[in-house]
Amino acid sequence: MLRQRVITAVLLAAGLVAGVLWLPGVAFAAAMLGVILLGAWEWGRLCGLQGRARRGLYVTALGAVALGCAQSVFVQGLIWPVALAVLWWPLVVAGLTVYHPGHPLLQGPRRPLLFALAGGLTLIPAWLALVWLHQVQPLLVLYLILLTAGADTAAYFTGRRFGRTRLAPEISPGKTREGLLGAVLGTLPLALLGMWALGVTPRLGVYFVLLCLVTVLVSVAGDLFESVLKREAGAKDSGTLLPGHGGVLDRIDSLTAAAPIFLAGLIWGGFVAR
């Protein structure tokens, strides 16, 4: 299993770096849309859309909405499809604090509809943000991935060594508050690395470090939210597409939350033009 995980991880990393650095803008957007739609297929199964026809319809509808939002963002210059995520993720965080298995809001026939809508609010802004960041500078995409992956790794090892207090026992019993602290501390050197690599001036340094911290914290919420989806579906992984790693959603759950927040912070701070 470990060998399989390592081989899959190396292949994914190599393909990701090559795609980000060498694909032109339109090709990168198309490739990322393909990843998002694979995630949407898994999301449809987890939220209770039974049968290939229903899930196919969901993926098609989500793809059509994504392309319509792209038209609004990249042709008409509107920002609201990405800005929705700035409202959406605080709502998710608030929901995570009160969630418990069997919550009345998530029972009955409304559950598939609510989770299907949540899929659109999660996946579409993430795709738009990644495409936007790539258009500005491909290095921003790689840095964001490094930031979320580095924080996740720091949280894992810190939690294994020092973890005592569970962060969200009703959602993901393996995550601890000590691990979260490790993620925050691990973000600091990555933020300093980002300042140097991206040419952030000292005057904006504190803002950039805080943005990185907020991005990492929101990425944890993305991970926990997918855990809620899997728990409600009674599934261990979102899929089986990636040997040793589960499904596509299992690999991009943190990134889907982090990307639009990171982009919004860059726009707000004046690093990226609207």
Domain ranges of the chain: 2-268
pLDDT at 2: 44
pLDDT at 251: 87
pLDDT at 20: 85
**Rounded Cα gap, residues 274 and 264, in angstroms:** 10
pLDDT at 4: 59
Mean pLDDT by runs of 10 across the 274 residues of the chain is 57 77 92 94 90 93 97 92 93 91 75 90 97 94 93 90 89 91 93 90 91 96 92 82 74 93 93 74
pLDDT tens, 108-148?
A: 777 888 899 999 999 999 999 999 999 999 999 999 999 99
